[in-house]
Amino acid sequence: MILSPVDAEFSFAVDVAVVGAGACGLCAGLAAAQAGAEVLILERDESALGTTAMSTGLIPAAGSALQKAAGVEDSPEQFANDICAKSKFRTDENIALSLAKESAATIDWLVEDQAVPLSLVDSFLYPGHTAKRMHGTPNRTGSELMGSLCAAAERAEVQILTEATVTDLFVDDDDRILGLRCRRPDGSNEDLECKALVLACCGFAGNPEMVHKYMPEIEAGLFFGHPGNKGDAVKWGTALGAAVADMNSYQGHGGVAKGYGIPILWPAIVEGGIQVNQEGLRFSNEALGYSEQAVNVLQQSGAVAWTFFDETRHNLMLEFDDYRDAVTAGAIRSADTLQGICEQTKLPFDAMQATLAEIDRLAANESADEFGRVFDAKNALAAPYYAVKVTGALFHTQGGLVVDENGQVLRPDGSQLPNLFAGGGAARGISGPDASGYIAGNGLVTATTFGRLAGITAAKLRRV
């Protein structure tokens, strides 16, 4: 809710308050503190985790020192073009380019200034990316990324107040945020004064009413995001007259292991794997992207599909912690023969034989199937086979508050709100108006880079 400052009982004051302790909030807090501001990050949960800790933690950037050291040629223009092409040029191209231009500085800053142990993922290309530009921590997990960011916050003496749910903002007649109210576990309220506010509390995937309203196509899917993200940024922002955009846009995933809750990452598909339904039939161009594939999977009988691949892809996937967990948990079936894997999965042998024969035929001719996926020799699958039953899921929302290139929140006429910033899932993303525009990395590039830039800009408003 938006409250009048006359109702505030401020018990303490900081320069920059940050709502939410995920990647965006931590980057905003670290950058603001480095720029000389006194910062407090408020987090509703007992620990700083958020969607970020559930993620694979891969952050794209063009022109990072790690890319240069690996001899990868890339440029912000190439990265921005990949982002825009995935959204069919239905996103803000200026914001995409400015994020792409700042992305390398963010990665270099995380590595050099914040000691986050990132390395370049050089084993494969994610769909839609034309250069190897994903950066991740050693085990490629978001929990490891969050651990490093929290350690950096501790070193920088950036305070994180946990179990502090921000409920209200105090705003004057000029739309200036003067402070906020948070609720503590014992039910008491605390009011905090601030000079600038960064909304890093992600989107509304954890709010079923908003999901129903803005993205009914995915509401029947598995919710595999952070339940604490209730859409507070959008609610406060719209109450203040801020613009919102792309509210139907989200990151879906067409490959969460059914019954295990482990995402089976898309390298299994882009490197040659396929998805079949329970009838043993392919039903889409699964290589287009995992986000839009969520709805395609949900439309199959039982709202499930099988991700099907072979030992070459299995070995590649072992790079990922999530996949190793899926193996240990028993989610991945394997057999030396097609007959064997069909017995384990109950997939119909005849249909699977025909499906694989068709892929072999397409691969031999290097031609496209009825869905537009081109197969070549590299796609041919060979025994032993691997399969995992998956369903479609909602990860996080991509629509939100419209911001400028520094993460400052804008009104519909393009004017800035005086001291309100947003980034990550709280802000409008760069995926266009629907799930098909999400290219891998859109979540964390906006969280880390908007977070860093919002922190730097917000720090300029500090008390003197």
Ligand X SMILES: Cc1cc2nc3c(=O)[nH]c(=O)nc-3n(C[C@H](O)[C@H](O)[C@H](O)COP(=O)(O)OP(=O)(O)OC[C@H]3O[C@@H](n4cnc5c(N)ncnc54)[C@H](O)[C@@H]3O)c2cc1C
Q: Which residues bind ligand X (CB under 6 A)?
A: 19-25, 42-45, 49-52, 54-58, 142, 165-166, 200-202, 224-226, 228-230, 232, 251, 263, 395-396, 424-425, 441, 443-444, 447
Nearer of residues 198 and 347 to ligand X, judged by Cβ = 198
The residue written with tokens 């986050």 in the block is 116
Question: Minimal distance in Å, beta carbon 341 to ligand X?
Answer: 26
The DSSP output letter for 142 is H
Please, are residues 229 and 411 in contact by the beta-carbon 8 Å criterion? no
Question: Minimal distance in Å, beta carbon 10 to ligand X?
Answer: 18
What are the φ and ψ backbone dihedral angles of 396, each rounded to 5 degrees? Answer: -160, 165
The DSSP output letter for 447 is I
Question: Minimal distance in Å, beta carbon 224 to ligand X?
Answer: 5
Nearer of residues 52 and 277 to ligand X, judged by Cβ = 52
Nearer of residues 268 and 347 to ligand X, judged by Cβ = 268
Encoded amino acid at 230, one letter: K
Question: Minimal distance in Å, beta carbon 446 to ligand X?
Answer: 7
Nearer of residues 235 and 281 to ligand X, judged by Cβ = 235
The side-by-side arrangement of strands in the sheet containing 134-136 is 59-60, 134-136, 119-120
Nearer of residues 280 and 424 to ligand X, judged by Cβ = 424
What are the φ and ψ backbone dihedral angles of 253, each rounded to 5 degrees? Answer: -150, 125
Please, are residues 76 and 101 in contact by the beta-carbon 8 Å criterion? yes
Question: Minimal distance in Å, beta carbon 57 to ligand X?
Answer: 6
Nearer of residues 263 and 455 to ligand X, judged by Cβ = 263
Backbone angle region of 57, left / alpha / beta, with phi > 0 → left and psi within -120 to 50 → alpha: left
Q: Tokens standing for 230?
A: 């209730």
Encoded amino acid at 99, one letter: L
Q: State yes or no: cis peptide before 127, omega within 30 of 0.
A: no
Q: Tokens standing for 251?
A: 């990151």
Question: Minimal distance in Å, beta carbon 429 to ligand X?
Answer: 8
User: How many of the other CB atoms lie within 10 Å of CB of 273?
Assistant: 27
Nearer of residues 58 and 194 to ligand X, judged by Cβ = 58
Q: Tokens standing for 136?
A: 């991740």
CA distances from 149 to 25, 152, 153, 438 (A): 10, 5, 6, 25
Please, are residues 118 and 137 in contact by the beta-carbon 8 Å criterion? yes
Nearer of residues 232 and 292 to ligand X, judged by Cβ = 232
* Burial of residue 272, with CB atoms counted within 10 A of its CB: 0-12 exposed, 13-18 middle, 19 or more buried: buried
Output the DSSP codes for 48-107. S-HHHHHS---EE-SS-HHHHHTT----HHHHHHHHHHHTTT-S-HHHHHHHHHHHHHHH
Please, are residues 207 and 230 in contact by the beta-carbon 8 Å criterion? yes
Nearer of residues 34 and 51 to ligand X, judged by Cβ = 51
Question: Minimal distance in Å, beta carbon 225 to ligand X?
Answer: 5
Please, are residues 425 and 396 in contact by the beta-carbon 8 Å criterion? yes
Question: Minimal distance in Å, beta carbon 242 to ligand X?
Answer: 16
Nearer of residues 205 and 359 to ligand X, judged by Cβ = 205
Question: Minimal distance in Å, beta carbon 424 to ligand X?
Answer: 2
Question: Minimal distance in Å, beta carbon 162 to ligand X?
Answer: 9
Nearer of residues 104 and 359 to ligand X, judged by Cβ = 104
> To the nearest 10°, the Cα dihedral for 445, 167, 148, 324?
-80
Question: Minimal distance in Å, beta carbon 117 to ligand X?
Answer: 16
Cross-strand partners of 307: 275, 388
